[in-house]
Structure 1
Amino acid sequence: MRRSSVFYAVGAFVVLLVLATAAALFMTVHKPGPAPVMAGGETPEASVQQSVALIKTGDFAGFWKHALPPADYDTLRTDWTRPRPDDHPISSEDRADFIKNMQQLTEPDAETKLYALARPKLAQLQAQYSDQVPVMIGVMQAIAATGVAQSKELTNPQKQQATEVINVLAPWAQQVPWFDQARAKQAIVVAVATARKLDIKTPEQLRTMDFDTAMQKYSAGFIGIKQVLAIYGLSIDDVLDSVKVTTLEDRNGHARVRVDYVLLGKPLSTESDLIQQGGRWYSADVLQNVRESHDRLLAAPAPGSSAPEPAPMPAPATTSASRAKPSATNAPAQAVATKH
């Protein structure tokens, strides 16, 4: 081979290497971000699956933007900072306890200090109650099942779904080594890390957060809860990853889907109703809950008023728009119930 050919081959290789390196650097610096969250879904299945994906990552701000039509989403954000007539004053004792607990969770070396306090208590509880825990959980299971059966707010499909979940969770809870010190140590580490991310020092902060701040706090708290449950053998991510959605009905802007999932190895399913607005699909229950919450808020008397409180929300009728509770698409709606 002639020298010029060798130089040409080496030069070409160097050029290709430089171009490849530049391309890699460009892709690193200009790596595309996540796709923007769209309101609703193109199909009923897509709407539910996107809700599940957002819940899994703890993106509650994205969840609400996806779960509501734009006008309802704007209303939710506006309502978030409205005064709550049913907010009770925080007692000085509760306030002091809250501040003390948060200080203990966030102070330097909190993990070591809290585990040092927990270790002897865990040993004591293990000795005193290890044999009684399965019995106690069995009693709580019976009480919960009775409450579900006698509920006047749940439809029969909802009662069946809640009972199935209880019957799966109770045997798991009976077998969990709640007093295991290694798991407790891991849980304490997660709790401390979560408390530091939350960065909440007083209970008043919980009532004065704007929507965006609250969603960030909810996300941090949810991720912490998921981590703790995983330590004790319950993976929320596995449950959400197992979700499969099948459309049962789709006509005239209304759809009903079946949501199949696996909880602790047990296949379960529920049904959820969706409605189409502006060409996009939304959970009927989530939309109904948000709108009724807004109506109750506007109907409530101003703080300090002597006017009677509004009547509680009536139990949902047994219609195609109310079968979905509980479902994978409306779990975060409890956040609104808590706030509103």
Structure 2
Amino acid sequence: MRLPFLRHAMLPLFAALLLSACHGKDEASQAGGSTPQAALQGSIDLIKAADFNGLWKHALPPADYANLRADWSRQQKDVKPMSAEDRARFDQTIQKLTEAGAEDKLYAELQPRLSGMEQQYKDQLPVLISVGEALVKNGIAQSKGLSNVQKTQADSVLDVLVPWAQHTPWFDQAKARQAVGVAVTTARKLGLKSPDQMRSMDFDTTMAKYSTGFTGLKQLLAIYGLSVDDTLNSIKLTPVSSSNGHAVVRVDYTLLGKPLSVESKLVQQDGRWYSEDMLDNARQSHQRLVQAQSLPTASASAAQASSNPVTKD
């Protein structure tokens, strides 16, 4: 994602994926929710529909959503040119994924590699995944952008995902063929013809592409036994507290058959409820971008002043 906020907000967004309640779906079409539970339910309805533009519009107050869209346009002007090497790699990848007979060609190319990798890494893979887990957990612990609660939540999710990753048959030929089919279908639906097209898309178009990519990702995960929809359908939500414009909601859910729980903080703005973490991240990201873009102007003004000293009569 181009906006730092969108990258930084993925943990709160993942938490939003795990929230559900018994409120009407009309909340999803409005900014925020009439209650903390309704705000979270609206986000879930939009995630289930893979409507990412609608998600940001619902998850942020109108002014902050407008800033998000404006910041996207501002950053488009600062995109660095792609190197010839990266451009060639992009073109080659898109051609392989979208050409006629791509499924058969890619699987024929992948099949011997899978057999070789299975012989070489089958016994080592659980250990390698454990090493990766340690590195990720260390990164989470050292992160300055995550609260202690968020770090605990991330660790709990990893504790479930790591055993799944260690025991998943990644080298299974039949599953690999299914995965290739999903990748090819998704690439064709994305309809990306060039890196310039990808880098020049406006906010609405990009969110639509994210929707297509998200749907493909869910299908890939399901092939290997991780159903996002099953997790969403397992959610139970319980209000914990609400006073002075702040609320806490407890969320119980099942991930890969393991019960987990999180607590989500919400804040009331102009009578509507929003995720406190997501709102804070959005505003901090906007402020950083505004400050970063004001630096060149300030530097230019200072340089001009120094080159034109004031003379006294």
TM-score relative to the length of structure 2: 0.82
Structure 2 residue runs of 5 or longer lacking an equivalent are 1-24, 301-313
Which residue of the other structure, out of 94, 107, 117, is the alignment partner of 2:99? 107
Which residue of the other structure, out of 114, 117, 121, is the alignment partner of 1:129? 121
Shift of 1:306: 10
* Alignment match, 2:226: 234
* Alignment match, 1:251: 243
Distance 2:61 2:294 in 1: 28
Shift of 1:97: 0.1
Which residue of the other structure, out of 163, 166, 170, is the alignment partner of 2:162? 170
Q: For 1:222, what is the secondary structure of its paired residue? A: helix
Shift of 1:71: 2.0
Distance 1:157 1:61 in 2: 27
Letter in 2 for 1:83: Q
Which residue of the other structure, out of 260, 270, 281, is the alignment partner of 2:262? 270
Q: For 1:260, what is the secondary structure of its paired residue? A: strand
Letter in 1 for 2:132: M
Indicate how the Cα distance of structure 1 residues 209 and 304 shifts in structure 2: closer, same or farther if over 3 A, else same: farther
Do 1:105 and 1:196's aligned partners in 2 also have CA atoms closer than 8 Å?
A: yes
Shift of 1:185: 0.5
Q: For 1:201, what is the secondary structure of its paired residue? A: coil
Letter in 2 for 1:145: K
2:212 corresponds to 1:224: no
Which residue of the other structure, out of 264, 280, 286, is the alignment partner of 1:294? 286
Indicate how the Cα distance of structure 1 residues 305 and 91 shifts in structure 2: closer, same or farther if over 3 A, else same: farther
Shift of 1:305: 7.9
Root-mean-square deviation (CA, aligned residues, Å) is 2.2
Which residue of the other structure, out of 69, 78, 87, is the alignment partner of 2:70? 78
Letter in 1 for 2:100: P
Indicate how the Cα distance of structure 1 residues 284 and 109 shifts in structure 2: closer, same or farther if over 3 A, else same: same
Query: Over residues 66-116 of structure 1, what are the superposed CA-to-partner deviations in whole Å (9 max), with x where a residue is unaligned?
Result: 111222222222222113587443111011101110111011111111111
2:152 corresponds to 1:155: no
Do 1:85 and 1:300's aligned partners in 2 also have CA atoms closer than 8 Å?
A: no
Do 1:39 and 1:69's aligned partners in 2 also have CA atoms closer than 8 Å?
A: yes
* Alignment match, 2:198: 206
Q: For 2:118, what is the secondary structure of its paired residue? A: helix
More helix by share: 2
* Alignment match, 1:279: 271
Structure 1 residue runs of 5 or longer lacking an equivalent are 1-33, 309-340
* Alignment match, 1:47: 39
Which residue of the other structure, out of 179, 187, 191, is the alignment partner of 1:195? 187
Query: Over residues 195-237 of structure 1, what are the superposed CA-to-partner deviations in whole Å (9 max), with x where a residue is unaligned?
Result: 0111112222232111110110000001100100000001111
Identity of aligned residues (%): 58
Distance 1:235 1:42 in 2: 30
Do 2:32 and 2:273's aligned partners in 1 also have CA atoms closer than 8 Å?
A: yes
Do 1:39 and 1:67's aligned partners in 2 also have CA atoms closer than 8 Å?
A: yes
Answer with 1 or 2: which has the greater Rg.
1
* Alignment match, 1:215: 207
Letter in 1 for 2:53: A
Do 2:114 and 2:171's aligned partners in 1 also have CA atoms closer than 8 Å?
A: yes
Shift of 1:39: 1.2
Distance 1:277 1:256 in 2: 15
Letter in 1 for 2:271: G
Distance 1:260 1:123 in 2: 40
Distance 1:96 1:304 in 2: 33
